[in-house]
Amino acid sequence: MKDIKDIEIIVEKLIDSERVAVLTGAGVSAESGIKTFRDPDGLWAKFNPAELASAQGFLSNPELVWEWYNHRRSVLEEAKPNPGHYALAELEKLTNNFTLTTQNVDGLHQQAGSENVYELHGSIVKNHCFECCEPYLSEIDIRDKEIPKCESCGGRIRPSVVWFGEMLPEEAIKKSEIAALNSEIYIVAGTSGEVYPAAGLPSIASNSGALVVDINPNLTAIGKYADVHLAYPSAEILPVIVSEYKKAVGI
In the complex, which residues of this chain contact ligand BJW (CB under 6 A)? 25-27, 30-31, 36-39, 42, 53, 103, 105, 121, 161-168, 189-192, 194-197, 215-218, 220, 233-234
Site string for Zn ion, 74-113 (x = CB under 5 A): ----------------------------------------
Spatial distance between the Cα atoms of 87 and 179, rounded to a whole number of angstroms: 20
Decide if residue 49 touches Zn ion (CB under 5 A): no
Which residue in the list 85, 109, 121, 229 is annotated as catalytic?
121
Other Cβ atoms less than 10 A from the Cβ of 204: the count is 21
Q: Cβ 18 to ligand BJW, closest distance in Å?
A: 27
SS3 165: coil
Spatial distance between the Cα atoms of 251 and 244, rounded to a whole number of angstroms: 10
**Cα dihedral across residues 208, 198, 231, 115: positive or negative:** positive
Cβ-proximal residue to ligand BJW, closest one: 27
DSSP string, 213-237: EEE-SS--GGGGG-SEEE-S-HHHH
Decide if residue 132 touches Zn ion (CB under 5 A): yes
Work out which of 42, 49, 148, 155 binds Zn ion, going by CB under 5 A.
155
Listed in sequence order, the residues at least 6 apart from 44 whose beta carbon sits closer than 8 Å to its beta carbon are 37, 38
121 belongs to the catalytic site? yes
Q: Cβ 153 to Zn ion, closest distance in Å?
A: 3
Closest CA to 166 of 128, 204, 202: 128
Spatial distance between the Cα atoms of 153 and 36, rounded to a whole number of angstroms: 35
Q: Cβ 115 to ligand BJW, closest distance in Å?
A: 21
Q: Cβ 67 to ligand BJW, closest distance in Å?
A: 13
The binder of 53, among ligand BJW, Zn ion, none, by C-beta within 5 to 8 A per type, is ligand BJW
Catalytic residue IDs: 121
